[in-house]
Structure 1
Amino acid sequence: MSRTPASALYWRILGINGLIFAAGTTALAVGPVTVSSPILLRELPVLAVGLAVMMAANAFLLRAGLAPLAGLSALMTRMDSLRSRDRLPASGSGDLFHLVDQFNAMLDRLEADRSTSTAVVLDAQEAERRRIAQELHDEIGQSLTVVLLELKSVVNRAPEEVAEELRGVQEVVRSSLDEVRRVARRLRPGVLDDLGLTSALTALATDFSGAGGPRVTRRVQTGLEGLGADAELVIYRIAQEGLTNVWRHSGARNAELSLTQEKDGRVVLRVADDGSGPPAEIGAGGDPGGVGGRPPSKGMAGSGIHGMRERAMLIGARLTIGPSNGGGTEVRLVVPPPGDRPS
């Protein structure tokens, strides 16, 4: 029958205590110390010192043996299902360090399963967005275009008093057509597939600035290397969600969208505003792990934050949300070089 970690820990503690008591018994048996019955007053200090030594040795050995449990408990307390690669160093030997190895292996399996399932869900979401965008463009967009052409023909033949009203209807239909096209672009940006990430982010900032939202200042670096289609889509979606939250929740008048690549190959996306600041659940530390699904008090939508964190996890990127220098909120995504991303 193989030993389990629990039984190994039991025998380890039993052996430590047995060794200490055996050492104490041996010291009494072969040493010059004697114990009378009843115990004499001068013998009490000797017994007290011996007991203190035994307890100190026992405490030291147990503390050293159980030290991995403290680190394991701390890891369980701070563990976040969307914060990858948070592990306990398994340095040393013994059954408890074997337990740490097993716990780290379990986290590896859970993160791999979570990453796989999240990728499947997000791929299905992107496919559905693509389908809806296509239908909006091909069905509703074309129908509205036909309506506009018919209205133009009717306006040309109608009396002036009726034509004026029809022109107002034309403007309404034209605005609806523009809105349908704008929604279709947000659902599936064709410019991302056709012209690349830089052009897509530029168009995104222009759309938000022209839609009555805050003025978006963009600083997008060209010639980014080593991103790939998956990373580009994650960056675009997080920038889109960040700007959407700025528009809907922050009350900001100005926003900044920047994308740069550092010398070590990391790509940094930053969306900042001068609005009401980050949710109270995130606080000044900028750690999104504290949100945990609770509804935010202000600034950004909790489901949007969770979606951004899930997307960041897929490419091994780090997402932080906290106060910006302008007093609002800053969303910062750091994408590692290709060699440091999950395969």
Structure 2
Amino acid sequence: MGVVTDIRGRGRSASLVRAQKCRRIGRSGAGNVSLFWRIFSLNAAGLIVAAALLLGPVTVSTPVQPAEALVVAAGLAVLLAANAVVLRVGLAPLQRLGRAMATADLLRPGARAVVAGPAETAELITTYNTMLDRLEAERAAGAARALSAQERERHRIARELHDEVGQTLTAVLLQLKRVADRAPEDLRPEVGQAQEATRAGLDEIRRIARRLRPGVLEELGLASALRSLATEFTTHGLAVRHRIPGDLPALPEEAELVVYRVAQEALTNTARHAGADRAEIRFRRIADGVELVVGDNGKGVGTAAEGAGIGGMRERALLIGADLAVRPGSEGRGTDVRLCIPAGGR
């Protein structure tokens, strides 16, 4: 639950800072003349000028003289143009707000609408930005709770597979060995096949348990866990290389788990959907932290919508303040999943 407490606290503090900033900006814009008074003042000025002209040098005869019609038409055109300009300027912040609302994505946080325009518009944009801060903080806290519960459930299932199913299959193997020793000669091949099938099932159970609970991550560290992951996925026509130096900076436990799970999910997507025969894990130090890249030479993501796997990776990246990008490969082919973790993690 350490992850939950950390993320929740940081999410709320970041939300509070942004909300206070938005309120300060909103208050600074509160002195602007409102859109209502802008339009009212412009219309009133136009009507006053028109009345003054009609009472003064301009008169309207019956029938209307061409010069008089020209003056009235020109005044009307000026008034309409001025109204159009005021409305265009006044409503531009609302249009920007609409675009920001249409493109808002809680999995890609940080984007905010610019607080500008008349007082009512500035207040509306400030309220929207504050609401977005709260939604992002609540989303991060909820994701932290969900992923923490998911990890606990993974550990429980892995332990039951290892302790219960694994021990049962081991007992079956021992019993089959005793049967094979006593079985007639013509039945021994069939008993041997049963032994091989049971042994293969036991190996598969152990492999699933290792993927559910990466013991090598806890025992040997992140670099060894990533190398082991590359070896594990080097099968069924997929060759996975790794470039992982030994002088990487230490990361918090939560960040190491996120890096491992992102690499695991990226390789799983490669094996299932990419149609690739080569993949690579690169983990290196960069100027402001560390970077994980999982690339392949498959068919790429194209225009397909992001699935649950990529969405899950984005959720995990948010927990440690990392940036995750899914892009075409560096050679224009395949896919690169890039995770950038700031120095110190979160």
For 2:319, the equivalent position in structure 1 comes to 314
Q: Greater CA deviation, 22-31 or 131-140?
A: 22-31
- Contact map agreement 2:295 2:337 (CA 8 A) in 1: yes
Alignment of 1:204-243 (within 5 A): 204-209=229-234, 211-225=235-249, 227-243=251-267
Distance 1:22 1:277, change over 3 A: same
Q: CA deviation at 1:166?
A: 3.2
* Structure 2 residue identity aligned to 1:331: V
3-state DSSP class of the match of 2:94?
A: helix
1:261 maps to which of 285, 297, 301: 285
Unaligned runs of 5+ in 1: 283-290, 292-301
Distance 1:185 1:213 in 2: 21
For 1:285, the equivalent position in structure 2 comes to none
* Structure 2 residue identity aligned to 1:122: L
- Contact map agreement 1:226 1:337 (CA 8 A) in 2: no
Q: Does 1:275 align with 2:280?
A: no
Distance 1:213 1:327, change over 3 A: same
State the Cα deviation string for residues 193-227 of structure 1 (Å, max 9, x = none).
22221111111110010x32410011123343363
2:217 maps to which of 192, 196, 201: 192
For 1:55, the equivalent position in structure 2 comes to 80
3-state DSSP class of the match of 1:35?
A: coil
Distance 1:316 1:30 in 2: 69
3-state DSSP class of the match of 1:269?
A: strand
For 2:10, the equivalent position in structure 1 comes to none
State the Cα deviation string for residues 165-198 of structure 1 (Å, max 9, x = none).
4333322222211111100011111111222211
* Structure 1 residue identity aligned to 2:321: G
Which structure would you say has the larger RCO, counting Cα contacts within 8 Å and 6 or more residues apart?
Answer: 2
3-state DSSP class of the match of 1:217?
A: strand
Distance 1:326 1:92, change over 3 A: closer
3-state DSSP class of the match of 1:335?
A: strand
State the Cα deviation string for residues 309-338 of structure 1 (Å, max 9, x = none).
222232332222232226222222222334
For 2:7, the equivalent position in structure 1 comes to none
For 1:332, the equivalent position in structure 2 comes to 338
Distance 1:17 1:204, change over 3 A: same
For 1:98, the equivalent position in structure 2 comes to 123
- Contact map agreement 1:218 1:256 (CA 8 A) in 2: yes
For 1:69, the equivalent position in structure 2 comes to 94
Q: State TM-score, norm by structure 2.
A: 0.82
Distance 1:303 1:191 in 2: 26
Alignment of 1:20-169 (within 5 A): 20-25=45-50, 27-28=52-53, 32-91=57-116, 94-156=119-181, 158=183, 160-169=185-194
Moved over 6 A (4+): none
- Contact map agreement 2:100 2:112 (CA 8 A) in 1: yes
For 2:5, the equivalent position in structure 1 comes to none
For 1:287, the equivalent position in structure 2 comes to none
For 2:201, the equivalent position in structure 1 comes to 176
3-state DSSP class of the match of 1:310?
A: helix
3-state DSSP class of the match of 2:226?
A: helix
Q: Does 1:246 align with 2:252?
A: no
- Contact map agreement 1:20 1:57 (CA 8 A) in 2: no
Question: Identity percentage over the alignment?
Answer: 50
Question: Aligned pair count?
Answer: 314
- Contact map agreement 2:158 2:210 (CA 8 A) in 1: yes
Q: CA deviation at 1:279?
A: 4.2
Q: Does 1:305 align with 2:302?
A: no
Distance 1:251 1:165 in 2: 37
Distance 1:15 1:26 in 2: 16
When the two chains are superposed, the root-mean-square deviation of aligned CA atoms in Å is 2.6
3-state DSSP class of the match of 1:257?
A: strand
- Contact map agreement 2:39 2:83 (CA 8 A) in 1: no
* Structure 2 residue identity aligned to 1:281: A
Q: CA deviation at 1:85?
A: 1.2
* Structure 1 residue identity aligned to 2:145: V
Q: Greater CA deviation, 13-22 or 195-204?
A: 13-22
Q: State TM-score, norm by structure 1.
A: 0.82
Q: CA deviation at 1:159?
A: 5.2
3-state DSSP class of the match of 2:225?
A: helix
Distance 1:236 1:272 in 2: 15
- Contact map agreement 1:277 1:327 (CA 8 A) in 2: yes
